[in-house]
Amino acid sequence: MPTVTPKDQVEDRNYRNSWYAVTPNRLLVTLGALNEEINCDICVIGAGFTGISAAYEFVQKGYSVTLLEAKNLLDSSTGKNGSHLLRGYQLSPDHMAKKYTPGNARMLCNLTLEGLALIVGRIAKHEIKCDLKFGHITTALDRDNISTIIKRIKEWNKLGHTDMQYVSAKDIPAYVDSKKYAGGLYDPKGAHFHPLNYALGVAQTAQTAGCKIYDETPVVKIEPGATVKIRTQQGVINAKFAVLSGHIKIPGLPKLGQKILPAAMPMLATQPLDSRISSKILPKNTAVSDMCGIMNYFNLSNDGRLLFGSICPDIDLQKRMTAIFPELKDATIAHRWNNPMDFTLNRMPHFGRLSDNIFYAHGYCGQGIILGNLAGKLMAEAVSGTAERFDVFARMKHLSIPGGDAFKKRLLAFAMAWHRLQDTLL
């Protein structure tokens, strides 16, 4: 049985930290805060997945690269997410075909598998220890969900990917033993891993190849021009290109923020579970996302914790976890954290250029591990002269979200209320 000890150990100093952030397996010595003026080919701003991936790709191509992160690398966004690697987008392949042409939809879907292969390839090539585990299941709650799953499998089959499998109600317990689920979609290429240890591994490889990494270095101003001037609190970088990687906050930056609705999404990690419980609830250690209006997602860590999150800022995660797995009602919660997830109105990522030599990519709508890593690669391709694939994204139209932060909060609350209502009606 799980340990029955006081819930919510607030006295534990790690409690408010992500479990990933307190379990890094390497020390990456950065240059600390920048306090001088330097020159480089490429200045990558933000050391999330996008920035680390971009820095890695640029140094491989022989550019001189500087990577700037506002926070400490251990506190960056790479260690605060659900860790699931999943192909595709929020929009289904057929929906994308209607919106962006069948050819572009095929290319966009294939790119997510390329992004996945990129991550897996880096892990293998650089022997990055990050607990990679294959297998993801999307679980259905009812017949409608099952119809959607069957349709989704057909859509991927049409693209030539015949590896997604339907899992019947009878077979679901072999993947996730909960009475809540009536079927599922198993993706053998889907995966979960330790996202921070992956990111640190890639960053260290880039650093070894010559990338200069400064953390605790927020960029405060960008001055466009043939040479882009990037000002930090105590330093300046003169770069041929600047790359804004992920959710970058710079005062006075042209309105990128208007395309994004950020929402602080919560996660928890239990104490390590008794192995009899962990192997019962998730016999194959598969990553799981369900099809609730407010999606739940979870997997086991390598030391047997349940890592659990939901797509709603203010929600009782523990209640949702025990509704799925009643046997966890006494499980101790060892960590809770939250981090912003960025949504766009059309639910596709937002890529583009602020000028000929300032690129950006953000707005991954909860799928930024693959999409951010991919974006880093596509920005490096685009800067070095092959922009076709970057431009398939950059041509997508994105509506601006009117009003300021207060309006965005109300909009988000409305959307969440709608999803909660859907859950109640199920």
Ligand X SMILES: Cc1cc2nc3c(=O)[nH]c(=O)nc-3n(C[C@H](O)[C@H](O)[C@H](O)COP(=O)(O)OP(=O)(O)OC[C@H]3O[C@@H](n4cnc5c(N)ncnc54)[C@H](O)[C@@H]3O)c2cc1C
Binder of ligand X out of 21, 40, 43, 47 (CB under 6 A): 47
H or E segment and range at residue 208: helix 195-208
Instruction: For residues 49 and 266, give the distance between their C-alpha atoms in angstroms, rounded to a whole number.
Output: 19
Shortest separation between residue 392's beta carbon and ligand X, angstroms? 19
Compute the least distance from the CB of residue 425 to ligand X, in Å.
26
Site mask for ligand X (CB under 6 A), range 197-226, x = bound: ---------------------xx-------
Q: Which of 42, 44, 48, 156 binds ligand X (CB under 6 A)?
A: 48
Q: Is 377 one of the binding residues for ligand X (CB under 6 A)? A: no
User: What is the nearest approach in angstroms of ligand X to the Cβ of residue 18?
Assistant: 9
Q: Is 50 in the site for ligand X (CB under 6 A)?
A: yes
Are 69 and 244 in contact, with CB atoms under 8 Å apart?
Answer: no
Residue 345 · residue 399 · CB < 8 Å? yes
The pairing of beta strand 287-290 with beta strand 133-140: parallel
Q: Report the SS3 class of residue 139.
A: strand
- Angle, alpha carbons 232-238-239 (nearest 5°): 110
Residue 133 or 146: which CB sits closer to ligand X?
Answer: 133
Tell me the site size for ligand X, rule CB under 6 A: 40
Position 296 contacts ligand X (CB under 6 A):
no
Q: Does 339 bind ligand X (CB under 6 A)?
A: yes
Binding-site member from 245, 278, 285, 344 for ligand X (CB under 6 A): 245
Secondary structure letter of residue 295 according to DSSP: -
Which runs of E-coded beta strand occur in 212-316? 212-214, 219-223, 228-232, 236-245, 261-270, 287-290, 296-300, 306-310
Rounded distance between C-alpha atoms, residue 373 and residue 57, angstroms: 10
Tell which one of 23, 76, 301, 344 touches ligand X (CB under 6 A): 76
CB of 406 to ligand X, least distance (A): 21
Please, are residues 244 and 256 in contact by the beta-carbon 8 Å criterion? yes
DSSP code at position 273? P
Q: Which stretch binds ligand X (CB under 6 A): 106-114, 199-207, 242-250, 414-422?
A: 242-250
Please identify, using beta-carbon distances, which residue of 362 and 408 lies nearer to ligand X: 362
Binding of residue 17 to ligand X (CB under 6 A): no
User: Which residues have CB under 8 Å from 16's CB, separation 6+?
Assistant: 335, 336, 337
Q: For strand 65-68 and strand 84-85, is the pairing parallel, antiparallel, or unpaired?
A: unpaired
Give the H or E element holding residue 61.
Answer: none
Are 35 and 215 a contacting pair, CB within 8 Å? no
In the complex with ligand X, the residue whose CB is nearer, 21 or 146, is 21
Instruction: Let me know: does 345 contact 353? Beta carbons within 8 Å.
Output: no
Binds ligand X (CB under 6 A): choice among 59, 84, 119, 241: 84
Q: How far is CA 404 from CA 256, 265, 297, 372, 397, in A?
A: 13, 20, 30, 26, 21
Site for ligand X contains 317 (CB under 6 A): no
Which of the ranges 78-86, 172-180, 221-229, 316-324 carries the binding residues for ligand X, by CB under 6 A?
78-86
Contact predicate 32/214, CB 8 Å: yes
Among residues 178 and 299, whose Cβ is nearest to ligand X? 299
Tokens 């046997």 correspond to what residue? 327
Element (H, E) at 47: none
Question: Contacting ligand X (CB under 6 A), which of 119, 372, 378, 379?
Answer: 372
Q: How far is the CB of 216 from ligand X (least distance, A)?
A: 10
Which among 70-78, 93-101, 145-153, 170-178 is the span making contact with ligand X, rule CB under 6 A? 70-78
Q: Among 43, 58, 66, 69, indicate the residue that binds ligand X (CB under 6 A).
A: 69
Q: Figure out which of the listed residues 42, 45, 242, 324 binds ligand X, where binding follows CB under 6 A.
A: 45
Given a contact cutoff of 8 angstroms between Cβ atoms, the answer to whether 53 and 372 are in contact is yes
3-state secondary structure of 21: coil
* 366 binds ligand X, rule: CB under 6 A: yes
- Window 253-272: residues binding ligand X (CB under 6 A): 265, 267
Q: How far is the CB of 60 from ligand X (least distance, A)?
A: 18
Chain residues that interact with ligand X, rule: CB under 6 A: 45-51, 68-71, 76-77, 80-84, 218-219, 245-250, 265, 267, 309, 339-341, 362, 364, 366-370, 372
